[in-house]
Amino acid sequence: MELLSHILAQGEVQITFPQQNEPFTQIVEGQCYQALCKIKAIIEDDRLNDSECFQKIAMQKEKRGVWSYQTERYLHGVYYDYQIPWDGEIVELGDPYARGCGVNGIRSMVVDLNRTNPLQWEHDQRPKKREENIIYELHIKEFSWDESGGFSKENRGKYKAFTEEHTTLFGDGEHSTGLDYLKELGVTHVQLMPVYDYGSVDESNDEEFNWGYDPENYNVPEGSYATDTEDGAVRIREFKEMVQSLHKNGFRVIMDVVYNHMYSLESNLNKAVPWYYFRTKDDGTISNGSACGNDVASERPMCANYIVDSVLYWAEEYHIDGFRFDLMGLLDVDLMNRIRRELDVRYGRGEILVFGEPWAADETAIEGTAVPALKKHIAQLDCEIGMFCDDTRDAIKGHVFEAEIPGFVNGANGLEEKILNSVRAWSTDGRNVKAPSQVITYVSAHDNWTLWDKLEKTISDEEERIRINKMAAAMYMTCQGNLFFLSGEEFARTKDGLENTYNAPIELNRLDWERAYRYTDLRTYYQGLIALRKQLPGLCDKSEGAWKRIFEEWKTEGVVGFFVDNTGKVYESKWKTLCVIYNSTRETVSKELKEGDWEILVDSESSFRWKEGKKVGCAKAAPKSVLVLGQRS
């Protein structure tokens, strides 16, 4: 067993194996509530014996600031810290490279990862890559916390809830929730909001809630989602069980990763090598482009290595299929392209999804010639790195921060050109976007108002709002790019009009499964759109030049129409050509069609028309709706 760490020290570094409940001599700011590490140091014959339970051992200095400790003893489940001399003092810290940790991530844990593998883990396979990506954003606790989900009491809010199959509404045996629900909905990817160990929730208190955008241990799963927070091996095993179950049920798993900032500057990285891993401005103050108090210095070589190693570790050890980079605009282009390359080498070109938010909260003190991965620099990013497209989002539903400013669906004028660009994922010749693979097409995410709450600001009548919601959904689901939506968008999810619920109670944030069946009409409309999307290679095509599939577009005030070359590259569709009309006016809009038989695929009433094969000679889009027609030859 070998432990290695990159530590800059002025003197000898020691590794310590603390006794159970041994307090830190220094209490880490912001973590005072759990200065005592409640650990179960399982002492067996072949490990540290009782008298050795607290041991301090000098580490070996190797080249380039690496310190190591090697032993023949089997230390799985034993907790450890480092002590490093710094400025005349001894600094105590957890291992920045830790693979396991105790409650609240304070103490690191030696872990034999093979022992954390669930049964059949070696046979776990990611579902086959498909041309369409329909990503569903979920938070572990929100998913199963509400009683209506019908999950077992002990697994509610936990990783384990994802291993429960055939759950139903209050256990009624009829209305699917959980995995079956997701299958019926038809999404292809589940994106998990932060699941690495984060700092804002006391893991020993089940009542606490946070989205988790505040990393502590980058390479360890969050403990509050484990059924046992005190045994560091449990969170690892249960995380793997979750991934295994999602894979088995046909879903690829994307992790939301926050390498741009940490919970606090009292992080193990900053203690190990002060001010190396974080940006500072020329005047010595801390760079704060994340609005979270610190920015990780991704452009520095060891920091870049650290991030790349971390991403590869999750892909390898936990079988993660994709990564969504929070505030990617704070990371640098070289790093992102390197991550892309390293994943491609191991798993095949584009096999693992990589995308992120191409913005930052504020200016960041990025160093030297490093280029931040902002929207304006998309041309420098690999074709297989995607960006959330705020232009499409705001063109469809309206301003993301200004409640009263509407979008195309709810009455804004002059957005027709933007909508046409959205359809082509902003990737026509002469634009920076190389291909639809670089675009995440969406209208809702965990940030800002839910789609329903945003629409509520401009449309007071509920029936009208449902109609407009359907229209918004049908619009982005007939645009090119990778599709993405916040869980519950399909059943009018509300957070009572609150924009930012990162630390609001779970009662507000949880998925309300009863609501899913109160808004069956809307939810069914989403199901039909998703099922149809999978038959539309012309819109799912993510290659360069895919924009040319959109042709003969036209626009009048409040109306956008276009045809789609729907012939397949990967698979064939029944319909070789599509005609799509977005009508946001209060009048019916007609369009003469070229000769041949046209069938209604989607109209204002139903997104399952494509099952009926009803023929039409003229396209008639009802007021405030989307019409999709298909032609077989």
Taking CB positions, which residue lies at the least distance from Ca ion?
A: 197
CB 105, min distance to Ca ion, A = 5
- For residue 329, the minimal CB distance to Ca ion (Å) is 26
Question: Can 62 be counted among the known catalytic residues?
Answer: no
H helices present in 117-198, as ranges = 140-144, 178-185
How far apart CA 474 and CA 540 sit, in angstroms, is 14
What is the number of other CB atoms lying within 10 angstroms of the CB of residue 402? 10
Burial of 556 (0-12, 13-18, 19+ CB in 10 A): exposed
Of 196 and 359, which CB lies nearer to Ca ion in the complex structure?
Answer: 196
Q: Cβ distance 274 to 304 under 8 Å? A: no
DSSP 413: S
| Look-up of token digits 């930052």 | 360
Closer CB to Ca ion, 220 or 433, in the complex: 220
- For 375, the 3-state DSSP assignment is helix
Least Å from the CB of residue 198 to Ca ion: 5
For residue 286, the 8-state DSSP code is: B
CB 542 within 8 A of CB 436: yes
Give the end-to-end CA distance of the chain in Å, rounded to a whole number: 65
Q: Is 183 left (phi over 0), alpha (psi -120 to 50) or beta?
A: alpha
Please give the Cα distance from 293 to 575 (Å, whole number).
53
DSSP structural state of residue 53: S
Q: How far is the CB of 264 from Ca ion (least distance, A)?
A: 13
Binding map of Ca ion across residues 79-108, x = CB under 5 A, - = no contact: --------------------------x---
> Under rule CB under 5 A, how many of the chain's residues touch Ca ion?
3
CB of 508 to Ca ion, least distance (A): 21
The candidate with the shortest Cα–Cα distance to 65, out of 4, 1, 2, 3, is 4
In this chain, which stretch among 165-173, 216-224, 397-405, 568-576 interacts with Ca ion, using CB under 5 A?
Answer: 216-224
Looking at the Cβ atoms of 117 and 204, the one nearer to Ca ion is 204
Q: How many CB atoms are closer than 10 A to CB 353?
A: 24
- Our CB check for Ca ion shows the closer of 263 and 491 to be 263
- Is 158 or 279 the residue whose CB approaches Ca ion more closely? 158
Task: Tell me whether residue 157 or residue 178 sits nearer to Ca ion (CB atom).
Answer: 157
Torsion of CA 241, 245, 251, 253, to 10 degrees: 0
Query: How far apart, in whole angstroms, are the C-alpha atoms of residue 379 and residue 541?
Result: 19
Q: How far is the CB of 32 from Ca ion (least distance, A)?
A: 15
357 catalytic, yes or no? Answer: yes
The binding track of 184-203 with respect to Ca ion, each residue x by CB under 5 A or -, is -------------x------
Distance CA 52, CA 524 (A): 62
Tokens 């190797």 — which residue?
62
238 interacts with Ca ion by CB under 5 A: no
Residues 104-133 binding Ca ion (CB under 5 A) are 105
Pairing of strands 625-631, 598-602: antiparallel
Please, what is the minimum distance in Å from the beta carbon of residue 200 to Ca ion? 8
- For 25, 137, 313, 472, 577, the CA distances from 222, given in Å and listed in that order, are 25, 18, 16, 35, 47
Residue with Cβ nearer Ca ion (34 or 270): 34
Specify burial of residue 249 (Cβ count, 10 A radius: 0-12, 13-18, 19+): middle
CA angle 483, 488, 492 (to 5 degrees): 110
Spot the catalytic one: 197, 357, 382, 512: 357
In the complex, minimum distance from the CB of residue 157 to Ca ion, in angstroms, rounded to a whole number: 14
Give whichever of 198 and 513 is closer to Ca ion, judged by the CB atom: 198
Question: What are residue 270's phi and psi, to 5 degrees?
Answer: -75, -30
Two tokens, residue 45: 């014959």
Which residue's CB is nearer to Ca ion, number 197 or number 541?
A: 197
Closest distance to Ca ion from the beta carbon of 214 (Å): 9
Question: Which of 37, 601 has the CB closer to Ca ion?
Answer: 37
Instruction: Give me the least distance between CB of 104 and Ca ion, in Å please.
Output: 6
Catalytic residue among 326, 384, 541, 599: 326
Contacts of 168 (CB under 8 A, 6+ apart): 150, 174, 175, 176, 177, 180
Q: How far apart are the C-alpha atoms of 388 and 443, rounded to whole Å?
A: 10
Min separation Cβ 223 and Ca ion, Å: 5
Nearer to Ca ion (CB atom), residue 178 or residue 199: 199
Tokens of 239: 């995380």
Cβ neighbours of residue 521 under 8 Å, at least 6 residues apart?
466
- HSE-CB for 189 with a 13 A CA cutoff: 29
Both tokens assigned to 197: 């160990």
Region at 375 (left for phi over 0; alpha for psi -120 to 50; beta for the rest): alpha
The residues annotated as belonging to the active site are: 326, 357
Q: Which residues bind Ca ion (CB under 5 A)?
A: 105, 197, 223
